[in-house]
């Protein structure tokens, strides 16, 4: 699997993101849970949704600070 990467020189390596992987994983587990539901699946879905929310919050913050897409903390 190749992850999206932006190099310091501005060039990019095309690939997937953590957010995309989480979204696909959530959808897959929701489908499985609809057929073979259990508490553990439900908790895992909730935790993945929470992780996705925090990654989106990080991105919003980086956009607000004007550093999204840059190698800056």
How many helices (H) does the chain have, and how many strands (E)? Answer: 2, 2
**19/10 Cα distance (integer angstroms):** 21
Express each pLDDT in 7-19 by its tens digit: 878 788 888 999 9
Express each pLDDT in 11-58 by its tens digit: 888 889 999 999 999 999 999 999 999 999 999 999 999 999 999 999
Predicted pLDDT of residue 33: 98
**pTM over cut 0.85:** no
The residue extents of the domains of the chain are 15-65
């Amino acid at each position: 699997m190749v992850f999206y990467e932006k190099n310091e020189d501005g060039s990019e390596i095309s690939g997937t993101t953590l957010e995309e992987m989480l979204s696909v994983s959530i959808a897959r587990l929701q489908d499985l849970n609809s057929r073979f539901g259990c508490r553990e699946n439900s908790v895992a879905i909730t935790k993945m949704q929470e992780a996705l929310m925090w990654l989106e919050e990080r991105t919003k913050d980086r956009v607000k600070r004007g550093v999204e897409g840059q190698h800056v903390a």
